[in-house]
Amino acid sequence: MKEPLDWIIEELKEIRDENLFRTLTHIETGQSPEIIINGKSHILLSSNSYLGLSVDPRVKEAAKLALEKYGTGSGGSRLVSGSSDLHRELEEHLARFKNTESAILFSSGYLANIGTISSLVGEGDIVYSDELNHASIIDGCRLSRTGVRIYRHLDMGHLSSLLESDSETLAKKLIVTDTVFSMDGDLAPLPELTELADNFGAMLMVDEAHATGVLGERGSGATEHFGVESRVPIVMGTLSKATGSLGGYIAGSRELIDFIRNRVRSYIFDTSLPASSLAASIAAIDIIENEPERREHLWRLIKRFKGGLETLGLEILPSDSAVVPVLIGEAGSAVEFARVLRENGVFTPAVRPPSVPYGMSRIRATLMAIHTDEHIDIAVEVFGHAKDKCGI
Ligand SMILES: Cc1ncc(COP(=O)(O)O)c(C=O)c1O
């Protein structure tokens, strides 16, 4: 007789057969340019700590001091017992950084997206979502039980025709998009999106997870880069990537933030961030704003890396950020490519479905401002070796 959980064994076999089985690699160091795996040094080319701030001495010192003063855990949800002066200070920092009236923290970007989207719209409303939006946006849409209209990636004509076909309805409408797409690294056309939102009376929400710290003169993100800060009413971001810490946030008007504090379940019913993470984020945002040279160096490295890969004849998907996706194709080939990279001292795992569409598996390389030219040159050489070895 079958045991009730036997179906899991069958499903795992299917996952393995499709080359989609996921395992963990244990890294014995922080998110530095050179990491140790099984006692061996590798160049890290898959971190979202784009500015290297998770290992910055000033950020670590801020976290240490906060840990000493406040201890390890926050003790509860913000509304019950877990709201400290550091939460308030970071929210004020974020509002200033994102040029909005106010901001509100979540324990992660994932929680910010699922809670906010599912509270802004509900049954009978309509969400318009780019087909390559992050899973947390997709899950927020699912949780909201709204009608979801998926528009083709970056296709403003398609979005416009969908909005047009709903123009008679009085339902609330929400357009939601990543600003830098997490697996592709390309940019949403924010000026056109703000136009469409205005023309069709839709709310516009953008996810700045991979743009913050990387784009804009002050590093504030894509809204700053495109000069549309005052035209995007709902801005989501995370503190886990270029900010080098942990947490998520929504920035917007005072009313929007009051609404979230009163309505969003992933804010209300979740233990708040610990002091060490809050203090690290405050210190990191100061560095992002005051050290543009980190961003400038990062952009030089991106250019150098892409140039090197192009010379090798590898196919880079069109990206405009620190995410550099090298298209391989089938999942099995991408896994093999990543294995050869790792064997030769470069760590960047294969990205496979469901994170990317079938047939579009890739090596998603990400660069950090603490990489050197030498790291990049070595990485390019190893990519060349993997290309030859895998016959790509
Ligand atoms: C575009 C995007 N949005 C949201 C998230 C979730 O953020 P967090 O990791 O802070 O939960 C991620 C994280 O991978 C992301 O890439």
The 3-state DSSP class for residue 66 equals helix
- CATH number of the structural domain spanning residue 332: 3.90.1150.10
Ligand 1 within 6 A of 366 CB?
no
Task: For residue 310, report the distance from its CA to the centre of ligand 1, in Å.
Answer: 29
Ligand 1 within 6 A of 100 CB?
no
- Greatest pairwise CA separation for the chain in angstroms: 66
The mean pLDDT value for 275-288 works out to 98
- Which amino acid makes up residue 180? V
- Nearest residue to 350 via CA among 337, 340, 360: 337
The pLDDT, as a whole number, for residue 22 is 92
Question: H-type helices in 133-238, by residue range?
Answer: 135-144, 156-165, 190-200, 222-225
- The pLDDT tens digits of the residues spanning 189-211 come to 999 999 999 999 999 999 999 99
DSSP character string of 289-342: HH-HHHHHHHHHHHHHHHHHHHHHT--B----SSEEEEEEESHHHHHHHHHHHH
- The pLDDT tens digits of the residues spanning 61-114 come to 999 999 999 999 999 999 999 899 999 999 999 999 999 999 999 999 999 999
Q: Whose CA is nearest to atom 9 of ligand 1?
A: 109
Ligand 1 within 6 A of 238 CB?
yes
Rounded distance, CA 350 to CA 362, Å?
A: 6
Q: Are residues 45 and 122 in the same domain?
A: no
- The pLDDT tens digits of the residues spanning 364-378 come to 999 999 999 999 999
pLDDT at residue 158 tops 90: yes
- The pLDDT tens digits of the residues spanning 338-357 come to 999 999 999 999 999 999 99
The mean pLDDT value for 294-312 works out to 98
Q: Look over the chain and give the mean of its residue pLDDT values, rounded to a whole number.
A: 97
Percentage of the chain modeled with pLDDT above 90: 98
Q: Which two tokens stand for residue 131?
A: 């087909």
* C-alpha to C-alpha distances, 379 to 10, 49, 307, nearest whole angstrom: 38, 18, 12
Q: Whose CA is nearest to atom 10 of ligand 1?
A: 109
- CATH number of the structural domain spanning residue 117: 3.40.640.10
Total domains in the chain come to 2
Task: For residue 313, report the distance from its CA to the centre of ligand 1, in Å.
Answer: 31
Q: Are residues 160 and 226 in the same domain?
A: yes
Task: For residue 169, report the distance from its CA to the centre of ligand 1, in Å.
Answer: 32
Name the residue range of residue 129's domain. 57-290
- The pLDDT tens digits of the residues spanning 230-262 come to 999 999 999 999 999 999 999 999 999 999 999
The answer to whether the CB of 61 falls within 8 A of the CB of 284 is no
- The pLDDT tens digits of the residues spanning 313-341 come to 999 999 999 999 999 999 999 999 999 99
- The pLDDT tens digits of the residues spanning 121-133 come to 999 999 999 999 9
Q: Are residues 310 and 283 in the same domain?
A: no
Ligand 1 within 6 A of 184 CB?
no
Question: Is the omega angle on the peptide bond into residue 325 within 30 degrees of 0, that is, cis?
Answer: no
Task: For residue 109, report the distance from its CA to the centre of ligand 1, in Å.
Answer: 5
Ligand 1 within 6 A of 240 CB?
yes
Ligand 1 within 6 A of 346 CB?
no
* Positions marked active-site: 182, 210, 241
Task: For residue 311, report the distance from its CA to the centre of ligand 1, in Å.
Answer: 32
Ligand 1 within 6 A of 110 CB?
yes
Q: Are residues 265 and 161 in the same domain?
A: yes
Report the atom number in ligand 1 closest to the C-alpha of 136. Answer: 4
The pLDDT, as a whole number, for residue 1 is 86
Question: Phi and psi at residue 299, in whole multiples of 5°?
Answer: -65, -35
* C-alpha to C-alpha distances, 326 to 10, 211, 345, 349, nearest whole angstrom: 32, 19, 18, 12
Ligand 1 within 6 A of 134 CB?
yes
Question: Phi and psi at residue 160, in whole multiples of 5°?
Answer: -60, -40
The mean pLDDT value for 169-196 works out to 97
Domain-located, residue 306 = yes
Q: How many CB atoms lie within 10 A of CB 75?
A: 15
Domain-located, residue 11 = no
Report the atom number in ligand 1 closest to the C-alpha of 239. Answer: 10
Residue written as token pair 């690294």: 185
The answer to whether the CB of 375 falls within 8 A of the CB of 345 is no
The answer to whether the CB of 91 falls within 8 A of the CB of 287 is no
The answer to whether the CB of 35 falls within 8 A of the CB of 351 is no
Q: Are residues 286 and 296 in the same domain?
A: no
Domain-located, residue 243 = yes
The pLDDT, as a whole number, for residue 362 is 98
Domain-located, residue 3 = no
Q: Are residues 135 and 41 in the same domain?
A: no
Q: Which two tokens stand for residue 175?
A: 């357009």
Domain-located, residue 12 = no
Residue to mutate (ligand 1; options 240, 249, 250, 321; most atoms within 8 A of CB): 240
The mean pLDDT value for 274-290 works out to 98
Q: How many CB atoms lie within 10 A of CB 6?
A: 10
Q: Which two tokens stand for residue 338?
A: 């990543």
Domain-located, residue 15 = no
